[in-house]
């Protein structure tokens, strides 16, 4: 039973007798999804709606000399042609990289960069008119990979890069890493490569812009982040944001691919305003491959010092990211390749060097796990190598080095609950690991890996001290509760989380609560569906709003029933006396009583994450209210003659804190395993050069769903999943994230299983039959039994920022960053490091908001 | 891009049985069944993911057989029977597959769901008690990026008993 006032000392996350939370249920939007009634952006139809198509660059890097759209504009049915001249203001998702224009201004930077838009009465007319636009290009040297960008600084893809064509160069050192290596019994030094891959949501991106009857702008879009689209649209169109409404439609899958602001969204917004009629764009599948913003290809070097018992003495990680042609989330992605190693295992001394290079390919950005799967792959394979060398069972090695709960790590990340030990123990037990590892016949094997992930980024992208999620409740005398929130339903079940948190506190049925989400005009801001933040942040805001509503009702009901409000229970759509349950009001009557006493009933809740103790530049990426943990065992079967690899079974234990709705939580874990297997075995965002005589262009090797291989039902393994529930005090009812973390251990667990099966190391993904055969061939010839990069490139990393770890007396500030230190003190330590970059890099015109601060 | 000639802009008129109802519809002759359903029949439940026959999101039943509506020309459907996701529920009651998909978590974002539902229905109409392997095989042309497929298999299996129960009770309308 849910008492109004929790007994002293009882916290919500400890609560045992919950009515709704923790029970497997149909999600609130389940019916809509199975009847085809969920409205996705391309399902929207409006009277007089026009259609937009984009002309995209067919050359990878060039100056636009001239665009002549006269013929296109003259075509019957063509209403408007827009070019870069119509969009003078750049935008970007991060304040440090406002480097995109809705339509390219003077330069194209990759095949697929949009240079013009045609809006016509019919999509076919718009499409055909694209051929009537003549663009004159002056080709520039094209950069195809990061090493090319390291070696050649000119011509610069962007002027604002840290150095030449190296977008971002960072180096952070926590403690005496060299001393740590000197203390080690063994030092392992390995290089890995993680190929890029893409989100492949089944829904292609779509947006409709409309000019409202009152002249304001409304944009409906398949976006994960309506709040960021709101900001960017206002900036790029130089409009008052109060006159722009963004409605995030239900996303047909996102996985990070709809979390950036896209040029087509801003183009149709302007077109709708200019034409005074609705304008829709829906991208083709090929265009989605070129929009990308997916997993960065990363080359990594891991240097790890260990004692004979497996204890880590020091870790030095170096990463080189292929960023593609624009900034996107790339600065954050770069830091993420080096941020979360320390929250999983105890690492007393740590150094991270990161570099993101610009190349003339579609921009990379955040995909499920954002920047961390690549380095997790390297770390977990290297741990497997360490275990083999030291003669320690790989599961046992991990149990020895797991980070402690309630710890501040070397890089000042706050670990709270950590269920990783139990996760490892459970997958070992479930998979019968001890009878399988090193004991299966040749060609079959098992591998283990662990991981951790954020439950929401601790610092928002645009630094401010406002809440990161807000919920408003409106209660009506009918007994109906409406929950308003900016959160965005992308399939993960955020509407269900919102409704469940409210219904649990108010003791009503989830069906009694109507969620109104993803609409910037109707609900308070939620930053968006990224960084696994929604359950924790929106959930806490929802609980706060619901508790305030419950308390308003309790005062009125207590008076009416003439009992102290402390005796009231909210459950089963009733409010009753815990000492005499027959003394009760229905929930509806309770709302009526409250409305009579207080007037209209509405409450608000908001959530801001705890302040991070990391005060050094770069410390803004990695902090989170808490972290989730996962462990996986993967079994593989390999045919050594063909290299063909099959995954028959996967075991996963995930530390979720508390599962709010186990049906959805299990679905997130299974979906993560599936997507991880795709990355491990087949998915790659690969590019090729067309011959010189054609254009020398860098084009996607296979921009179709047939040739970009992703797992089907036939590749699906048996999945055995357990949720580890140790409620975390920071989470709503103790819940942590589940949408991204479980993906992370899959790829290294597959690689480790390959080694157990056939004794070769595949140090890169995807792990294809061809690579397995090459490694087996090397082994047969007595060479290094391995496939992977031979060496790590020479990268001009800067001198590291030196930060003393907490156990050596560090206070989270850098020892060699005086200017930053001063500023940090001024601002009470809460400023995002990215913000300082923004001030340095952004001119006033491109970032008026920055200039005013 | 080829110039559209006047022929493709000509409108066709066909009669079909759509979700159990007679339906007359006129549309530009180049349109696929997918486009006709979404744009001319006001049935946006059928989705598109590639329009090249690669993802299965646009699956509908044509004379009871699952087809990719993005590969069928609307002109081919004259006189034929088409069932979309909107035609699965009967008399205000969801089809058992719709119930179990919703209950088992088989629909996350829901975008691929209409295609899965009609494909699974065709399987169960043909083979009332399929094995897990038969379910996998019959759904192998439908891509889902959210679920990892396991809850979809479980939903199809859970529906088998419900459909059998409906048959026993004589409620064959639903199935």
The Cα of B60 is separated from the nearest Cα of chain A by a number of Å equal to 12
Cα separation, B43 vs B49, whole angstroms: 16
Interface touch B102/A42, C-beta < 8 Å: no
The position carrying tokens 């357990």 is A722
Secondary structure letter of residue A288 according to DSSP: H
Number of residues assigned to chain A: 853
Substitution target from A25, A32, A34, A704 for chain B, most B beta carbons within 10 A? A34
CB within 8 Å of A435: residues ≥ 6 apart? none
pLDDT value of residue A696 = 81
Let me know the angle formed at the C-alpha of A332 by A682 and A734, rounded to the nearest 5 degrees.
85
CA neighbours closer than 13 Å in the CB half-sphere of residue A711? 28
pLDDT at residue A846 tops 50:
no
Query: For the segment A379-403, what is each residue's pLDDT rounded down to a tens digit?
Result: 999 999 999 999 999 999 999 999 9
Q: Does B71 touch chain A (CB under 8 A)?
A: no
Query: For the segment A123-153, what is each residue's pLDDT rounded down to a tens digit?
Result: 999 999 999 999 999 999 999 999 999 999 9
pLDDT value of residue A323 = 98
Cα separation, B99 vs B113, whole angstroms: 12
Interface touch B149/A674, C-beta < 8 Å: yes
State the CB neighbour count (10 A cutoff) for residue A410. 28
Where along chain A do the CATH 3.90.1170.50 domains lie? 41-140+204-250+258-291
The Cα of A712 is separated from the nearest Cα of chain B by a number of Å equal to 6
pLDDT value of residue A4 = 47
Q: Does B147 touch chain A (CB under 8 A)?
A: yes
B4 neighbourhood in chain A, CB within 8 Å: 124, 128
Level-2 CATH architecture, domain B96-168: Orthogonal Bundle (1.10)
Q: Does B131 touch chain A (CB under 8 A)?
A: no
B105 neighbourhood in chain A, CB within 8 Å: 27, 663-664, 666-667
CB within 8 Å of A762: residues ≥ 6 apart? A751, A754, A771, A772, A775, A786, A787, A788
B109 and B151 Cβ atoms separated by less than 8 Å: no
- CB nearest A492 (choices: B88, B98, B108): B108
Query: For the segment A322-331, what is each residue's pLDDT rounded down to a tens digit?
Result: 999 999 999 9
Confidence grade of residue B172 (pLDDT, cut at 50, 70, 90): low
Is B6-87 in CATH node 3.10.20.30?
A: yes
**What is the mean predicted confidence (pLDDT) over A92-106?**
97
Closest-CA residue of A relative to B1 is: A128
Instruction: Tell me which of A487-501, A839-853, B97-111 is least confident.
Output: A839-853
Q: Residue A629 in 3-state DSSP?
A: strand
Level-2 CATH architecture, domain A10-38+466-607: 2-Layer Sandwich (3.30)
Cα separation, A27 vs A754, whole angstroms: 38
Secondary structure letter of residue A189 according to DSSP: E
User: Residues A670, A671, A675, A678: is their CA dihedral positive or negative?
Assistant: positive
**Phi, psi (rounded to 5 degrees) for B113:** -60, -45
A252 neighbourhood in chain B, CB within 8 Å: 47, 109-112
- CB nearest A705 (choices: B43, B49, B102): B49
The Cα of B106 is separated from the nearest Cα of chain A by a number of Å equal to 8
Interface touch B109/A252, C-beta < 8 Å: yes
Instruction: Tell me which of A223-232, A593-602, A840-849, B126-135 is least confident.
Output: A840-849
Interface touch A714/B113, C-beta < 8 Å: no
Domain A41-140+204-250+258-291: top CATH class: alpha beta
Q: Does B31 touch chain A (CB under 8 A)?
A: no
Q: Does B164 touch chain A (CB under 8 A)?
A: no
Interface touch B136/A704, C-beta < 8 Å: no
User: How high does pLDDT run on average in chain A?
Assistant: 94
pLDDT value of residue B27 = 97
- CB nearest B44 (choices: A32, A43, A254): A43
Cα separation, A605 vs A349, whole angstroms: 40
A62 and A137 Cβ atoms separated by less than 8 Å: yes
A679 and A747 Cβ atoms separated by less than 8 Å: yes
Q: Residue A108 in 3-state DSSP?
A: strand
| Inter-CA distances, A639 with A431, A442, A634, A770, Å | 22, 9, 17, 12
Virtual torsion, Cα A249, A251, A254, A256, nearest 10 deg: 10
Tokens linked to A176? 């005496």
The position carrying tokens 């003339």 is A360
The Cα of A819 is separated from the nearest Cα of chain B by a number of Å equal to 46
Tokens linked to A540? 């806490």
Query: For the segment A329-360, what is each residue's pLDDT rounded down to a tens digit?
Result: 999 999 999 999 999 999 999 999 999 999 99
Cα separation, A84 vs A117, whole angstroms: 9
Cα separation, A603 vs A542, whole angstroms: 10
User: Residues A478, A479, A480, A485: is their CA dihedral positive or negative?
Assistant: positive
State the CB neighbour count (10 A cutoff) for residue B166. 18
Q: Does B143 touch chain A (CB under 8 A)?
A: yes
- CB nearest B143 (choices: A38, A673, A705): A705
Cα separation, B164 vs B174, whole angstroms: 11
CA A273: distance to chain centroid? 32
Q: Does B54 touch chain A (CB under 8 A)?
A: yes
Q: Residue A274 in 3-state DSSP?
A: helix
Query: For the segment A708-752, what is each residue's pLDDT rounded down to a tens digit?
Result: 999 999 999 999 999 999 999 999 999 999 999 999 999 999 999
Closest-CA residue of A relative to B134 is: A714
- Specify the DSSP element, H or E, that contains A166: strand A166-174
Level-2 CATH architecture, domain A298-459+616-787: 2-Layer Sandwich (3.30)
Confidence grade of residue A819 (pLDDT, cut at 50, 70, 90): low
B98 neighbourhood in chain A, CB within 8 Å: 34-35
Interface touch A42/B48, C-beta < 8 Å: yes
Cα separation, A497 vs A367, whole angstroms: 22
Interface touch B84/A36, C-beta < 8 Å: yes
A193 and A321 Cβ atoms separated by less than 8 Å: no
Query: For the segment A260-281, what is each residue's pLDDT rounded down to a tens digit?
Result: 999 999 999 999 999 999 999 9
Query: For the segment A236-248, what is each residue's pLDDT rounded down to a tens digit?
Result: 999 999 999 999 9
pLDDT value of residue B170 = 64
Closest-CA residue of B relative to A130 is: B1
Edge-to-edge strands, sheet with A568-571: A568-571, A574-577, A580-586
Closest-CA residue of B relative to A31 is: B102
pLDDT value of residue B111 = 98
Where along chain A do the CATH 3.30.365.10 domains lie? 10-38+466-607, 298-459+616-787
A670 neighbourhood in chain B, CB within 8 Å: 147-151
| Number of A–B residue contacts, CB under 8 Å | 181
Q: Residue A192 in 3-state DSSP?
A: strand
Confidence grade of residue A829 (pLDDT, cut at 50, 70, 90): very low
B136 neighbourhood in chain A, CB within 8 Å: 713-714, 716
The residues facing B68 across adjacent strands are B59
pLDDT above 90 as % of chain A:
92
pTM of the model: 0.94
The Cα of B80 is separated from the nearest Cα of chain A by a number of Å equal to 22
**Phi, psi (rounded to 5 degrees) for A291:** -70, -40
Where along chain B do the CATH 1.10.150.120 domains lie? 96-168
Residue (of A199, A115, A92) closest to A842 by Cα position = A92
Strands A764-765, A186-194: parallel, antiparallel or unpaired by DSSP? parallel
pLDDT value of residue A839 = 44
pLDDT at residue A845 tops 60:
no
The residues facing A762 across adjacent strands are A787
CB within 8 Å of A62: residues ≥ 6 apart? A107, A108, A137, A138, A139, A140
Interface touch A667/B84, C-beta < 8 Å: no
pLDDT value of residue A363 = 98
Cα separation, A278 vs A291, whole angstroms: 23
CA A429: distance to chain centroid? 31
Interface touch A203/B47, C-beta < 8 Å: yes
pLDDT value of residue B29 = 94
Tokens linked to A56? 């995209």
Residue (of A306, A484, A508, A667) closest to B102 by Cα position = A667
Cα separation, A253 vs A713, whole angstroms: 18
Query: For the segment A23-55, what is each residue's pLDDT rounded down to a tens digit?
Result: 999 999 999 999 999 999 999 999 999 999 999
**What is the mean predicted confidence (pLDDT) over A813-828?**
59
**Phi, psi (rounded to 5 degrees) for A801:** -75, 125
């Amino acid at each position: 039973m849910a008492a109004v006032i929790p007994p002293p000392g009882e916290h919500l996350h400890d609560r045992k007798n919950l009515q709704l939370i923790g029970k497997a249920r149909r999600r609130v939007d389940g019916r809509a999804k199975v009847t085809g009634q969920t409205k996705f952006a391309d399902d929207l139809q409006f009277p007089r709606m026009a259609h937009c198509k984009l002309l995209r660059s067919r050359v990878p890097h060039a100056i636009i000399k001239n665009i002549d759209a006269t013929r296109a504009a003259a075509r019957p049915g063509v209403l408007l042609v827009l070019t870069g001249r119509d969009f003078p203001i750049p935008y970007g998702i991060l304040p440090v990289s406002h480097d995109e224009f809705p339509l390219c201004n003077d330069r194209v930077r990759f095949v697929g960069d949009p240079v013009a838009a045609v809006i016509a009465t019919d999509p076919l007319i718009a499409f055909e008119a694209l051929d009537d636009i003549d663009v004159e290009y002056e080709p520039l040297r094209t950069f195809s990979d990061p090493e090319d960008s390291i070696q050649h600084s000119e011509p610069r893809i962007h002027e604002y890069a840290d150095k030449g064509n190296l977008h971002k160069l960072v180096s952070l050192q926590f403690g005496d890493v060299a001393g740590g290596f000197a203390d080690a019994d063994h030092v392992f030094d390995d290089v890995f490569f993680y190929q890029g891959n893409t989100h492949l949501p089944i829904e292609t991106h779509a947006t409709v812009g409309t000019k409202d009857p009152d002249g304001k702008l409304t944009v409906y879009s398949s976006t994960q982040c309506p709040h960021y689209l709101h900001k960017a649209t206002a900036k790029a169109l130089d409009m008052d944001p109060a006159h722009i409404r963004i409605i995030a439609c239900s996303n047909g899958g996102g996985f990070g691919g709809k979390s950036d602001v896209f040029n087509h969204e801003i183009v149709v917004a302007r077109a709708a305003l200019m034409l005074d009629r609705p304008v829709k764009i829906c991208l083709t599948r090929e265009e989605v491959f070129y929009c990308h913003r997916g997993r960065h290809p990363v080359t990594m070097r891991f240097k790890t010092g260990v004692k004979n018992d497996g204890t880590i003495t020091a870790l030095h990680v170096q990463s080189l990211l292929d960023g593609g042609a624009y900034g996107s989330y790339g600065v954050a992605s770069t830091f993420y390749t080096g941020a979360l190693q320390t929250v999983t295992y105890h690492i007393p001394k740590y150094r991270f060097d990161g570099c993101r290079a610009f190349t003339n390919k579609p921009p990379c950005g955040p995909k499920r796990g954002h920047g961390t799967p690549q380095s997790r792959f390297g770390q977990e394979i290297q741990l497997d190598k360490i275990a083999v060398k030291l003669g320690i069972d790989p599961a046992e090695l991990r149990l020895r080095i797991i980070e402690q709960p309630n710890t501040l790590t070397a890089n000042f990340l706050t670990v709270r609950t950590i269920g990783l030990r139990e996760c490892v123990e459970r997958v070992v037990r479930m998979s019968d690991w001890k009878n399988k590892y090193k004991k299966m016949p040749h060609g079959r094997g098992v591998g283990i890996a662990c991981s951790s992930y954020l439950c929401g980024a601790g610092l928002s992208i645009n630094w401010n001290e406002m809440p990161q999620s807000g919920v408003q409740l409106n209660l009506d005398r009918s007994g109906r509760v409406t929950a308003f929130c900016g959160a965005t339903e992308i399939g993960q079940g955020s509407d269900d989380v919102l409704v469940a948190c409210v219904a649990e506190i108010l003791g009503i049925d989830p069906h009694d609560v109507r969620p109104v989400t993803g609409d910037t005009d109707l609900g308070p801001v939620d930053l968006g569906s990224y960084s696994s933040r929604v359950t924790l942040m929106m959930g806490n805001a929802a609980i706060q709003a619901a508790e305030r509503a419950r308390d308003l009702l309790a005062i009125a009901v207590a008076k009416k029933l003439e009992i102290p409000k402390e005796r009231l229970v909210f459950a089963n759509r009733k409010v009753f006396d815990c000492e005499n349950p027959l003394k009760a009001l229905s929930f509806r009557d309770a709302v009526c009583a409250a409305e009579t006493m207080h007037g209209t009933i509405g409450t608000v809740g908001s959530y801001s994450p705890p302040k991070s103790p990391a005060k050094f530049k770069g410390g803004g990426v990695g902090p989170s209210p808490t972290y989730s943990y996962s462990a996986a065992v993967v079994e593989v079967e390999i045919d050594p003659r063909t290299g063909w690899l099959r995954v028959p079974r996967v075991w996963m234990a995930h530390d979720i804190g508390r599962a709010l709705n186990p049906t959805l939580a299990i679905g997130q874990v299974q979906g993560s395993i599936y997507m991880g297997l795709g990355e491990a075995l087949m998915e790659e965002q690969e590019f090729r050069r067309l011959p010189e005589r054609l254009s020398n262009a860098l084009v996607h090797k296979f921009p179709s769903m047939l040739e970009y291989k992703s797992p089907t039902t036939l590749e699906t393994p048996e999945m055995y999943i357990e949720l580890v529930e140790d409620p975390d005090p920071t989470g709503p009812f103790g819940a942590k994230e589940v949408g991204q973390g479980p993906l992370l251990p899959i790829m290294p667990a597959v690689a480790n299983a390959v080694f157990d099966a056939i004794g070769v190391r595949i140090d890169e993904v995807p792990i294809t039959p061809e690579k397995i055969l090459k490694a087996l061939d090397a082994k047969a010839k007595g060479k290094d039994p391995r496939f992977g990069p031979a060496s790590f490139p020479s990268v001009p990393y800067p001198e590291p920022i030196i930060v003393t770890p907490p156990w050596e007396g560090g206070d989270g500030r850098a020892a060699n960053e005086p200017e930053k230190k001063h500023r940090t003190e001024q601002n009470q330590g809460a400023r995002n490091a990215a913000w300082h970059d923004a001030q340095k890099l952004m001119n006033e015109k491109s970032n008026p908001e920055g200039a005013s601060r | 891009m080829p110039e559209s000639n006047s022929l493709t802009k000509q409108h066709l008129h066909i009669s079909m049985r759509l979700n159990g109802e007679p339906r007359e519809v006129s549309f530009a002759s180049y349109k696929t069944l997918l486009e006709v359903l979404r744009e001319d029949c006001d049935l946006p439940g059928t989705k598109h993911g590639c329009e090249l026959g690669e993802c299965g999101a646009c699956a509908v039943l044509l004379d009871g057989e699952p087809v990719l509506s993005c590969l069928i020309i609307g002109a081919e459907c004259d006189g034929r029977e088409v069932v979309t996701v909107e035609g699965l529920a009967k008399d205000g009651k969801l089809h058992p597959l719709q119930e179990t998909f919703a209950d088992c978590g088989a629909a996350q974002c829901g975008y691929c769901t209409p295609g899965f539902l009609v494909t699974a229905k065709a399987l169960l109409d043909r083979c009332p008690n399929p094995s897990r392997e038969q379910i996998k095989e019959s759904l192998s042309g439908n891509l889902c990026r959210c679920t990892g497929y396991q809850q979809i298999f479980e939903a199809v299996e859970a529906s088998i008993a419900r459909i059998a129960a409906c048959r026993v009770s004589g409620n064959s309308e639903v199935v």
